[in-house]
Chain A
């Protein structure tokens, strides 16, 4: 059995503070399976339930309904200290009265291991996270990034069944965050530890995960690999949450074609819809070709924002309720269009995607 974590119908309800008697459903009947060695990210806006879900797996919250299985064993009634699901906390939660090494081996010291063994494993894992030789330091002498690594080391040294990450990089500056993402992912792959990673940062989610679970209002919106989530979002929320997107309302002609603003388009993934039905298409800003004239539609440039590597154009197209967002790469070489200019937009078929849920 290579499923490490199985979550079945997991639900968490809280009593509402301002209206007692009313319930807030933080996690709404979520089911999920995570395979050995995977890094799965729970991604969503604040309040979507991802942290509550993680905490239920760790045992810090008690589920209202549903079951959690770790390596095939039902763990609902197990205390947090009996689950072998080491966690890297958002605030690091390092023990201020212990030095770096003692922080890292805290969990090991509770097991029946020899002191020599414990120290050896502690020092090994410190090397692994790039803090070799710093075991004697006090933790208030460390920088934020170093403290983060201590928290990571403390969890890894436990060789847990599943490793839990609760937004571990949110307290770091942007450059450090990018660096740590790569390091954490490399370490995780090298050690092959099954991991659940919670974040609201899509770049983290996209760059680190084997699969992403997009959540909103306590429910799973979609589960898939980063490419799947990006290229084939199931609904508006997922499409809009990751990157930027254009929504196009169109009518189904037959099982392969739709009609949009009087033009016919081939859409690869229409999935057996009946003619006449409305279907919402998505197309990413970088996939639209901008021409001086011609293309499928013409539009007028309403705004041009220079972002360095790309220019973002907002273009008004007659008949569409929202502006089209188009990204053009390498603007310094390719050239810039000006506000007010009339341009042509070309929508390649392979870039069009039909939302499963309107």
Chain B
């Protein structure tokens, strides 16, 4: 114990030789404490407070577990989570396998279609499903004439979530399958294994940690999903995230809302912990160096066509959903009057332009800050020693596991009183986005930094550069691929965020995503569709611009650590 204290003291002393870096570190530590940990703490405390009772009690939790409706919300959320995760992982695996291990034609097209849901607001599927299968839906009302097909509830939410989150499963599994050495298949078949046996006994077991990882990621996303359930769950199918929102904004019952948030948090944190600390260690990387995509020998021509067909159907539906949104944006009154019109777009660019402007301001302010902060934290974590480093790393990654709803509630609880009265301002939105979307940047920054020979940065210091100068002139140029992906991720998320944002908007600052939900609630599906289209276009343009501004670092190829 004494030894640790001694060492901590010395580490701080050493850090003090570089005062700018030390100040930066202190600033980051304080920021993370105030904007990541403190709000969560507030939620926890609030959940232990009840109206009319002094001090902390478990009354809210008692109330939760004795109320049918609320218990049902928990069961529904978990059921939807498991179902979505299972089906998404299956689809994701098939898609990843087809696109990395077969000779399927047009792979890049499939890939783009599959990641389309990732760059749109997460509830676009929900809106499309409403447009197609709702009470006034194209299929249900126009084509099939069914009057009382109820898309709401379990099936609606699950279908919407599958189309929203299967692409994430696909992206995760893509990486896993690419890093599998094809030589292993040869080895298996060489000793007499059939194709199916090779798949079952070699490929599948090796992919298992990756599959489990993807499952947990989708599960966490599903639990935290707010938009889809809000649109498609309906009053007879309560779910935790929208229910927490309704308790706060509808019934003004902050303690109960906070309680629901905590209960929502538990499965997420558990899944995150399992994924990070147990599964990460068991990833099997059997290919050293850059992963290559080679054709698997266990896939026959016929099998390939089956896989491509499945992929094709799935992609067709994605295209259908986006096509529907596009058409809906130009349709006068969906379900009744299908005349072409530009009214909805005119509306968004005139009366509704505030929302677009505000969203862009928030995104443009938070994205570069988030990206830069992420790179600096990655640099500090990988290259410097200081007391509390583990805690810093953990806290900065915490937002991966915390559902947006919980963060949103935490922010309105923490910042609605002086000295940090931020509720209703631009600042609270920008700050929320910065800290919420840092983790991905930090993760990829750490991954890239670990591959760079540390003596390059030592050389810079040896020649007279202090910490900041080294970071600016040497580190940052070398990790620009990670910086780029951090920026893209932060921007996309800022544009498509809803779960936390919905608590933080105000009369003065509105976001497009919130506006879209409002329009859906008011029945103005055309306007909602128009906003969605504009949003996707903005994201695509932004990705293009960021790609131009940030060099993707061809220099990184020769800096790999020598062993």
A: residues with CB less than 8 A from B are 58-60, 62, 77-82, 85-87, 89-91, 93-97, 106-107, 110-111, 139-140, 154, 158
Contact B474 A95 (CB under 8 A): yes
Considering the complex, give the chain A residue whose CB is closest to the CB of B453. Answer: A91
Of the residues B17, B455, B473, B558, contact of A96 by C-beta under 8 Å: B558
Contact B477 A81 (CB under 8 A): no
State A309–B471 Cα separation when bound (angstroms): 54
State A262–B496 Cα separation when bound (angstroms): 95
Of the residues B453, B463, B473, contact of A154 by C-beta under 8 Å: B463
Contact B459 A93 (CB under 8 A): yes
State A82–B562 Cα separation when bound (angstroms): 28
Of the residues B463, B559, B562, contact of A107 by C-beta under 8 Å: B463
Report, nearest first, the 10 A-B pairs whose CB atoms are least far apart: A107-B463, A79-B17, A96-B555, A93-B459, A93-B455, A97-B555, A80-B461, A97-B477, A81-B461, A110-B464
Contact digits for B460-504, partner A, Cβ 8 Å, 1 yes 0 no? 111111100100011001100000000000000000000000000
Contact A81 B464 (CB under 8 A): yes
The interface residues of chain A lying within 8 Å CB-to-CB of B474 are: 95
Considering the complex, give the chain A residue whose CB is closest to the CB of B13. Answer: A77
Interface residues on B, range: 20 to 34
Contact B478 A97 (CB under 8 A): yes
Contact digits for B1-19, partner A, Cβ 8 Å, 1 yes 0 no? 0000000001001100110
Would you call B456 an interface residue if the criterion is a C-beta within 8 Å of the partner chain's C-beta atoms? yes
What distance in Å separates the Cβ of A265 from its nearest Cβ neighbour in chain B? 51
What distance in Å separates the Cβ of A245 from its nearest Cβ neighbour in chain B? 34
State A78–B462 Cα separation when bound (angstroms): 12
Contact A79 B18 (CB under 8 A): yes
The interface residues of chain A lying within 8 Å CB-to-CB of B466 are: 79, 81
The interface residues of chain A lying within 8 Å CB-to-CB of B455 are: 89-91, 93
The interface residues of chain B lying within 8 Å CB-to-CB of A78 are: 17
State A106–B461 Cα separation when bound (angstroms): 10
Contact A86 B453 (CB under 8 A): no
State A97–B463 Cα separation when bound (angstroms): 17
Considering the complex, give the chain B residue whose CB is closest to the CB of A147. Answer: B558
State A162–B272 Cα separation when bound (angstroms): 51
State A96–B555 Cα separation when bound (angstroms): 5
The interface residues of chain B lying within 8 Å CB-to-CB of A96 are: 456, 478, 555-556, 558-559
The interface residues of chain B lying within 8 Å CB-to-CB of A62 are: 10, 14
Pairs A–B under 8 Å by Cβ, sample size 17: A62-B10, A62-B14, A78-B17, A79-B18, A79-B466, A81-B462, A87-B459, A89-B455, A89-B458, A96-B558, A106-B465, A106-B473, A110-B465, A140-B555, A140-B558, A154-B463, A158-B464
**Beyond A87-B458, A96-B555, A96-B559, 15 extra complex contacts between A and B, CB < 8 Å:** A77-B17, A80-B458, A80-B462, A82-B464, A86-B463, A89-B455, A91-B455, A93-B455, A94-B456, A94-B459, A95-B456, A96-B558, A106-B465, A107-B463, A110-B465
What distance in Å separates the Cβ of B514 from its nearest Cβ neighbour in chain A? 42
The interface residues of chain A lying within 8 Å CB-to-CB of B463 are: 81, 86, 106-107, 110, 154, 158
Contact B17 A110 (CB under 8 A): no
State A114–B473 Cα separation when bound (angstroms): 19
Of the residues A60, A82, A97, A158, contact of B458 by C-beta under 8 Å: A60
Would you call B312 an interface residue if the criterion is a C-beta within 8 Å of the partner chain's C-beta atoms? no
Contact digits for B541-563, partner A, Cβ 8 Å, 1 yes 0 no? 00000000000010111110010
State A81–B464 Cα separation when bound (angstroms): 4
Considering the complex, give the chain A residue whose CB is closest to the CB of B17. Answer: A79
The interface residues of chain B lying within 8 Å CB-to-CB of A106 are: 460, 463, 465, 473
The interface residues of chain A lying within 8 Å CB-to-CB of B13 are: 77
Considering the complex, give the chain A residue whose CB is closest to the CB of B10. Answer: A62
Most A Cβ at <10 Å: residue of B13, B477, B555: B555
The interface residues of chain A lying within 8 Å CB-to-CB of B17 are: 77-79, 82
Contact B461 A110 (CB under 8 A): no
Contact A85 B461 (CB under 8 A): no
Considering the complex, give the chain A residue whose CB is closest to the CB of B478. Answer: A97
Contact A93 B464 (CB under 8 A): no
State A93–B562 Cα separation when bound (angstroms): 11
Chain B, 438-461, CB within 8 A of any chain A CB: 453, 455-456, 458-461
What distance in Å separates the Cβ of B410 from its nearest Cβ neighbour in chain A? 37
The interface residues of chain A lying within 8 Å CB-to-CB of B562 are: 91
Most B Cβ at <10 Å: residue of A85, A95, A97, A110: A97
The interface residues of chain A lying within 8 Å CB-to-CB of B473 are: 106
State A59–B465 Cα separation when bound (angstroms): 13
The interface residues of chain B lying within 8 Å CB-to-CB of A110 are: 463-465, 469
